[in-house]
Structure 1
Amino acid sequence: MPPRRFASAAAIVRVGEGLLACDLPRAEWTHEAHLAACLYLLTERPDIAIDTEIGGLIRRYNESLGGINDDHQGYHDTITRVFVAGVREYLAQAAEADLLARVNGLLATPMGQRDWPLRFYSRDRLFCVAARREFLAPDLAPLP
């Protein structure tokens, strides 16, 4: 399935700020929204320390919608941290200047694809309970 691109920078801001305010509708919390929020927070919200705060932000958002963060659903630490690394890798090479172009550019790269973590992890390792609870190092290839 091709990525759903964003139509405006305002839509990206809405996703990022909606995550923070816990008022983004669940239906809008897509794979693309996860990546857009990550890029937005990394580039537009320097007041947020992504490496220490991202887990709490997503857990809180999930819970605000009645979701559960446990061993089988909700927040997944390893997947989140792999995509944060991917967004940073993309930003290090991105030539796009504005937020909309950066996010849509990311979605068109390998780092923006849903299966990107499987370049570094076996399915068994990536989807185990321990990987959901905390970051596990990859077992197939090092992260960039």
Structure 2
Amino acid sequence: MTDHPPRLFADAAAIVRVGQGLLACTLPRAEWTHEAHLGATTWLARERPDIDLDAELPGIIRRYNESVGGVNDDCQGYHDTITRVFLHGVRAHVADRPAGEPLEACVNALLLSARGKRDWPLRFYSPERLFSVAARRGFVEPDLRPLG
């Protein structure tokens, strides 16, 4: 996996736009980046308590993928285990941050942290397990070490 510096958000409005675009299925596909995933999820976790992320995030992402011409199958699109691992990381990150911190500071700190790296789930999973069809279809427990 290529490691390059994350694209940071200039302000909270940019993050809110991504989150709202995800929910409304209006975000251009090219903008649905790793950073956008984490920004939108952080915004949802912090600002949208009306959305039960454990129950609703999979459908939100699947619906968005399909709205931009994507396919959710055994090889592409929504990946349940990766989504749930990063949701766990987002929640832990938000819990560690100061109350009242600006959204962009929180998201950018996440993107610059270990939890924000694209390969972070591989600290807990072997590639074979993480990239399996079973892990894409539903959550599978880590095989290297617990999420903690």
State the TM-score bracket (shorter-chain normalisation).
over 0.9
Name structure 2 gaps, 5 residues minimum: none
Cross-structure match for 1:103: 107
Deviations 1:25-61 (A, max 9, x none): 0010000000001000000111100000000000000
**Selected match of 2:14 from 11, 17, 25:** 11
Moved over 2 A (4+): none
Name the SS for the 1:142 alignment partner. Answer: coil
**Structure 2 CA distance, aligned partners of 1:55 and 1:87?**
15
Q: Quick check: 69-78 or 87-96, which moved more?
A: 87-96
TM-score, reference length from structure 2 = 0.96
Match for residue 143 of structure 1? Answer: 147
Residue aligning to 2:68: 65
In the aligned structure 2, how far is the partner of 1:93 from the partner of 1:7? 22
1:91 deviation in Å? 1.1
Q: Distance in 2 between matches of 1:57 and 1:38?
A: 11
Query: 2:39 aligns to what?
Result: 36
Secondary structure, aligned partner of 1:79: helix
TM-score (norm 1): 0.98
Distance 2:18 2:53 in 1: 16
Matched length: 144
Across the aligned residues of Structure 1 and Structure 2, the Cα RMSD in angstroms comes to: 0.8
Q: 1-side partners of 2:63 and 2:74: how far apart?
A: 16
Corresponding residue for 2:77?
Answer: 74
C-alpha displacement of 1:16? 0.4
Q: Are positions 1:88 and 2:91 aligned together?
A: yes
Letter of the structure 2 residue corresponding to residue 135 of structure 1: F
What percent of counterpart residues are identical? 67
TM-fit CA distance, 1:79:
0.1
Q: SS of 2:76's equivalent?
A: coil
